[in-house]
Amino acid sequence: MLGDVVRWGVAVVERYMFGPFGLIAIPIVLMALWSVPLVWALGVDLAILLLWRLPKWQAGYASTMTEQERFERENEARKTLAQIVGGAAVLAGLYFTSVNLQITQTTAMRNQEITQEGQITERLTRAVDQLGNEKLEIRLGGITSLARIARDSKKDHQRIIAILTAYIRANAPWPPKQDQLPEERFKKLKEVEASDEERQLLMHIQWALPVRAMDIQAALSAIGHRARHYEEEDNTEIILWYTDLRRAFVRKAYLESAVLSGAHLEDALLEDTYLNKAILRGAHLEGADFERVRLDGADLTGAYLNGAQNLTVAQLSTVKSLYKAHIDPPLMDQIKRQYPHLLEKPSKE
């Protein structure tokens, strides 16, 4: 192949070198031999044509000039054309430099994104594996890692929320698992070697401590305090139906549109929590603290609100339904007088 190209080049030079197109033929042959794109060869030919042939043609029209005057005219024309061609070459160089820089930056950014995605995938896999560990501190570490990844990665945000809600449903279901019942914990306490007085103290502490396990509380906090700027309106599903969340601490949490039907939230601290459009059908909220809780559009059909603290008529007036809800008599009387439509059976949508 190379021999054919060389032979072709020699033939072109022999044929045109001494003709009127000799100066044009030589750069084309040299460019072809060095495998430079044809467009560059044509550019060089065009530059030679402008700098050498054009001034001669321009000066040739002036028949009254002497040879010296014609030579000077050609040189002046060549200087002007050289400046034009040089400026164009500089502009072309700047353009191609800019294009190459843009391509380099785009490639570097893409490589960085691929590297970051790989790192996030590795962190996500390791965190999910930690959720299945028997040691509480390792599970807590996995939950913390998932919460951080959810803040860092828009792509994995909703997937992590789904993982955390599934973890709560699996590890804090209602009805509770056998080992979650108080009597099972008391059996373990009775096996502890201690005096009667120490054992009574331990049992008292057991009653005083929240029912909620630390890992479930951590997962619930991660969900409630997630990075909401990644979410489109009503696009993140928080499904926690029939879960055991008694005495949960969900202060200042964002649980809009959360599905909490049948969930047990007795004595939960819900202060400043957003439960707008949440589905709380048949949820147990006895004794829960509703201080400044937003309930706009929430469905409280059949919910148990007996003994709820800091719950006001103003809050209940914004809900979607209170049909068959269990409410303390003073609040119920006010609802019947002021908002009786909330107690009616909701129409099917």
pLDDT tens across 264-321, in order?
Answer: 999 999 999 999 999 999 999 999 999 999 999 999 999 999 999 999 999 999 999 9
For the chain, what's the residue count?
A: 349
Q: How far apart are CA 182 and CA 179, in angstroms?
A: 8
Say yes or no to pLDDT of 13 above 70: no
Q: List all residues 6 or more positions away from 9 whose beta carbon is below 8 Å from its beta carbon.
A: 29, 30, 32, 33
Q: How far apart are CA 81 and CA 55, in angstroms?
A: 9
Encode burial over 232-270: b for 16+ CB neighbours within 10 A, e otherwise: eeeebebbbbbbbbbbbbbbebbbbbbbbbbbbbbbbbb
5 or 156, which is more confident: 156
Q: How far apart are CA 37 and CA 42, in angstroms?
A: 9
Average pLDDT over residues 246-267: 93
pLDDT at 6: 45
- Token pair, residue 223, equals 């969900």
Q: How far apart are CA 267 and CA 286, in angstroms?
A: 6
pTM of the model: 0.62
96 or 300, which is more confident: 300
Say yes or no to pLDDT of 182 above 60: no
- Under the banding of pLDDT at 50, 70 and 90, the label for residue 209 is very low
- Domains of the chain in start order, with CATH, are 2-103 (no CATH), 128-174+214-343 (2.160.20), 175-211 (no CATH)
Q: How far apart are CA 82 and CA 60, in angstroms?
A: 19
Average pLDDT over residues 110-127: 75
Supply φ then ψ for residue 224, to 5 degrees. -70, -25
